[in-house]
Amino acid sequence: MSPQAPLISCEGLAKSFTLHLRGGLVLPVVAGVSFAVQAGECVALGGPSGIGKSSILKAVFGNYGVDQGHIWIRDGERRVDLATAEPRQVIALRRRVIGYVSQFLRVIPRVSALDVVAAAARESGAGEDEARATAEGLLRRLNLPERLWSLPPSTFSGGEQQRVNIAHGLAGRHSILLLDEPTASLDAENSAAVVALIQEKKRARAAILGIFHDAPVREALADRIVDISAFAIGRKPAETARAEAAA
């Protein structure tokens, strides 16, 4: 595979949700989504809230299935289509290749903030000492008070949890990073710290695909914007409609 081959390449993705509990109602979200992200590039998914940006990001993480199309993920000299990959392949890619920063931390009972972050570093191949050093470095740069490091994040504030979540997402050596509103519940200082960390990943040749609602953050990070409105086929923003239908 050529060294210039993109790390992420989506070809003709289509996604809809079928709501069996609502008489099989089909909510189309997007169709024909095609874009690529190169090493060292940051691409922002654009378009109004609820248009399907998060669904695409989740599909590129293997968290959502797709109806059609390919999601080519480059893994060294190979490429794997996440749209059809076996669960074990997806898990292996998440360990080594694809990192993801979600909007909320999924708290694991009894595991300390430091261990949450160090575990992510270990999973992608760091040794015990290195993982711990990486975790401490990240938590320090994200201004999480040291007295909190040994505590489980379940009792933290939203902003503190989000910083643990970001440290968890950035602790690995992933060549692809997916970011869903990474600065959402952060103040200006912490937001700047996150931007700096992501810029470092970019300089280290990671391919970054993100949703950045905050315009200054988007401008600081994104080289290009892929407007999802161009591929949207639902009349109503799909996530909203799904939430309403499920309610």
Partner 1 sequence: MQGDEAPLLVAEGVTKYYGERLGCRDVSFEIHPGEVIAVVGESGSGKSTLLSLLSQRLELSSGRVLYRLDGRLRDLSESTEAERRRLQRTDWGFVHQDPREGLRMNVSAGANVGERLMATGWRHYGRIRSTASDWLSRVEIDADRIDDAPKSFSGGMRQRLQIAKNLVTHPRLVFMDEPTGGLDVSVQARLLDLIRALVADLGLAAIIVTHDLAVARLLSHRILVMKDGEVIETGLTDRVLDDPARAYTQLLVSSVLAA
Contact footprint for partner 1 (CB under 8 A): 17-21, 58, 62-65, 87-88, 90-91, 108-111, 246
- Please, what is the minimum distance in Å from the beta carbon of residue 20 to partner 1? 3
- Please, what is the minimum distance in Å from the beta carbon of residue 58 to partner 1? 7
Q: Which is nearer to partner 1, 63 or 124 (CB)?
A: 63
Strand locations in 181-236, DSSP E? 207-211, 224-227
Residue with the two structure tokens 């080289």: 223
Q: Which is nearer to partner 1, 196 or 246 (CB)?
A: 246
Buried b (16+ CB within 10 A) or exposed e, 219-228: ebbbeeebeb
Q: Are strands 8-19 and 25-37 parallel, antiparallel or unpaired?
A: antiparallel
Q: Which is nearer to partner 1, 127 or 216 (CB)?
A: 127
- Please, what is the minimum distance in Å from the beta carbon of residue 135 to partner 1? 17
- Please, what is the minimum distance in Å from the beta carbon of residue 82 to partner 1? 10
How far is the C-alpha of 57 from the C-alpha of 61, rounded, in Å? 6
* Cβ neighbours for 204, distance < 8 A, ≥ 6 positions apart: none
Q: Which is nearer to partner 1, 100 or 212 (CB)?
A: 100
